[in-house]
Amino acid sequence: MTPGGGSGPMKDCEYSQISTHSSSSPMESPHKKKKSAPKRKWEVFPGRNKFFCNGRIMMARQTGVFYLTLVLILVTSGLFFAFDCPYLSEKITPAIPAIGGILFFFVMGTLLRTSFSDPGVLPRATPDEAADLERQIGNTEGLSGGYRPPPRTKEVIINGQTVKLKYCFTCKIFRPPRASHCSLCDNCVERFDHHCPWVGNCVGKRNYRFFYMFILSLSFLTVFIFAFVITHVILRSQQTGFLNALKDTVVCFFSVWSIVGLSGFHTYLISSNQTTNEDIKGSWSNKRGKENYNPYSYGNIFTNCCAALCGPLSPRSCFALSGIM
Q: Residues with catalytic annotation?
A: 196
Q: How far is CA 91 from CA 3, 85, 226, 234, 242, in A?
A: 62, 10, 17, 12, 18
Distance CA 271, CA 177 (A): 19
Bridge partners (DSSP) listed for residue 168: 173
Maximal CA-CA distance, the chain: 92
Distance CA 103, CA 111 (A): 12
Residue length, the chain? 325
Q: Which residues contact 190 (CB under 8 A, 6 or more apart)?
A: 120, 121, 122, 176, 178, 179, 204, 205, 206, 314
Q: In 3D, which of 307, 215, 213, 228 has the Cα closest to residue 255?
A: 215
